[in-house]
Amino acid sequence: MDQKVISSAVIKRLPRYHRYLGDLLENGIERISSNELSERMNVTASQIRQDLNNFGGFGQQGYGYNVEYLYREIAKILGIDRQNSMIIIGGGHFGQTLANYGNFETRGFVTKAIFDVSEERIGQTVRGIMTHSMDELESWLAENPVEIAVLTIPKQAAQDVADRLVACGVKAIWNFAHLDLKVPRDVVVENVHLSESLMQLSYRIAAKEEKK
Amino acid sequence: MDQKVISSAVIKRLPRYHRYLGDLLENGIERISSNELSERMNVTASQIRQDLNNFGGFGQQGYGYNVEYLYREIAKILGIDRQNSMIIIGGGHFGQTLANYGNFETRGFVTKAIFDVSEERIGQTVRGIMTHSMDELESWLAENPVEIAVLTIPKQAAQDVADRLVACGVKAIWNFAHLDLKVPRDVVVENVHLSESLMQLSYRIAAKEEKK
């Protein structure tokens, strides 16, 4: 498929389409009109048609969308039709949570190893995934290249570790450390700053009270 | 301060300003020009001036911004100049991670209790925070009203629990369950869908490879 430039707003909506279509599939629904999908997703039908037209459009007039076909096509676009292997840097509570989260695997994200500096954690497994010493990071990655490194370490250590990952050829970082990483242009970083999300929530609480 | 309608793009940037200003404060920096702030944050200086003008503008020509004043004013706007009390629904790995995260407290988000259905977890504490039975949710909230409920439970259970929270008068939900909650208009929901964030990352990996 010809990949044109797609706005980041559309890309943000794609995983949601994928989720809804997955739910439909689970419920045995084979086709759906943009109107029905619109009602379920609380997005206008024209928005849905417009979004999906970015990818050539999968609908047929009078038939609607073939759920399974659309589900698979969106998966391809999202790059989740194949396996993405990951390592988790930081085997604390949060790293363990992510390692335990089997749902990632059903979407093709397979965690291969955990790395930590704590002697207590090194050698431990989480759901069968081994925790290695950070000292072994370079040698391990040389043998086992991965697509994605997940950072669940304190912000003080994060830039150094990111530099080491980049030097090892890692091209994608899912960053939970609370800072903006500096990486070369060809490395993609997706940030999840939980406390910023919480602040947006508290802003909305405060703004609502102001209105009263 | 007169609160006008502020675009959601600006609001998304505010926590980041707050974080950078906090770092400056920690490093003993008392004032900063929009140009310097711009360089650090990788945002244009005119963007910074424009953003901060939404709140009346705190800069003075030739002086720059007073870091501490700006930091405090942004905290007020974000509603983190006061205490927001929270409960966590779901005492599993992820709920425990959030309960353990002391950084939330330094920003005024104080977790008062955890609720769970598992007999094993009920009665356990995490960082001194008690885990209660879900059966006690209503009676506990009647005695201890909170601003925010955090949902870290499977999606199958999430809507029911959200309904119970809303019936108890909870007005803000930080939702980690992988579904879109249906709540009344006066209840604010902030979603963190981790697997959708991961899909955006994989989209960007896939899109980059397509370009090669």
Instruction: Decide: A78 and B203 in contact? Cβ < 8 Å.
Output: yes
List pLDDT tens digits, range B109-135.
999 999 999 999 999 999 999 999 999
Nearest to B3 among A147, A199, A207 (CB): A207
Residues A56 and A100 in one domain: no
Q: Count helices and strands (H / E) in chain B.
A: 9, 9
Q: In this structure, is residue B17 part of a structural domain? A: yes
| Whether residues A108 and A124 fall in one domain | yes
Between B61 and A208, the higher pLDDT residue: A208
Amino acid identity at B43: V
pLDDT for position B61: 66
Q: Give this prediction's pTM.
A: 0.88
Q: Is residue B210 part of a domain?
A: no
Q: Do B54 and B91 share a domain, yes or no?
A: no
- Whether residue B206 is contained in a domain is answered as no
Q: What is the pLDDT of residue B49?
A: 85
pLDDT in tens, A22-60: 999 999 999 988 888 888 888 898 888 888 877 665 666
Judged by a CB distance cut-off of 8 A, whether residue B203 touches chain A is yes
Q: A178 is in which domain, residue-wise?
A: 84-196
Q: What is the mean pLDDT of residues A12-21?
A: 90
Q: Dig out the tokens for A116 from the structure.
A: 């930590």
Averaged pLDDT for residues B32-51? 87
Q: Are residues B22 and B94 in the same domain?
A: no
Residues of chain A contacting residue B79, judged by C-beta atoms under 8 Å apart: 199, 202-203, 205-207
At B11, the pLDDT band (50, 70, 90 cuts) reads confident
A119 and A165 share one domain = yes
Mark which residues 17-36 of A lie under 8 Å from B by CB: 18-19
Per-residue pLDDT of B184-195, as tens digits, reads 999 999 999 999
Phi, psi of A141 (to 5 degrees): -65, -30
**What is residue A1's predicted lDDT score, i.e. its pLDDT?**
44
- Is B127 contained in some domain? yes
pLDDT band at residue B173 under the 50/70/90 scheme: very high
Residue among A100, A188, A203 minimizing CB distance to B78: A203
Long-range contact pairs involving A117-122 (C-beta distance under 8 Å, separation at least 24): A118/A91, A121/A91, A121/A92
A63 and A114 fall within a common domain = no
How sure is the predictor about A138, in pLDDT bands with cuts at 50, 70 and 90?
very high
pLDDT band with cut points at 50, 70 and 90 for residue B60: low
Q: Does A74 have pLDDT greater than 60?
A: yes
High-pLDDT (> 70) share of chain B, %: 93
The confidence band for A212, taking pLDDT boundaries of 50, 70 and 90, is: low
Of A39, A56, A77, the residue at which a domain comes to its end is: A77
Q: What is the pLDDT of residue A41?
A: 87
For A134-147, what is the mean pLDDT? 98
- B97 → closest Cβ in A93, A192, A211: A93
Do B177 and B112 share a domain, yes or no? yes
Q: What DSSP string describes chain A?
A: -------HHHHHHHHHHHHHHHHHHHTT--EE-HHHHHHHHTS-HHHHHHHHHTTT---BTTTBEEHHHHHHHHHHHTT-SS-EEEEEE--SHHHHHHHH-THHHHTTEEEEEEEES-TTTTT-EETTEEEEEGGGHHHHHHHS--SEEEE-S-HHHHHHHHHHHHHTT--EEEE-SSS-----TTSEEEE--HHHHHHHHHHHHHHHHHH-
- Which of A78, A101, A200 comes nearest B203 by C-beta? A78
Q: Give the mean model confidence (pLDDT) for residues A132-155.
A: 97
pLDDT of residue B2: 47
Q: Best interface-test mutation with B: which of A24, A197, A203 has the largest number of B CBs within 10 A?
A: A203
Report the chain A residue with the minimal C-alpha distance to residue B77: A203
* Average pLDDT in chain B: 90
pLDDT for residue A134: 98
**Which residues are paired to B34 by β-bridges?**
none
pLDDT tens-digit series, residues B149-170:
999 999 999 999 999 999 999 9
Q: Please give the tally of structural domains in chain B.
A: 2
Q: What is the CATH number of the domain that holds A142?
A: 3.40.50.720
Q: At B98, is the pLDDT very low, low, confident or very high (cuts 50, 70, 90)?
A: very high
Q: Say how many CB pairs under 8 Å bridge A and B.
A: 167
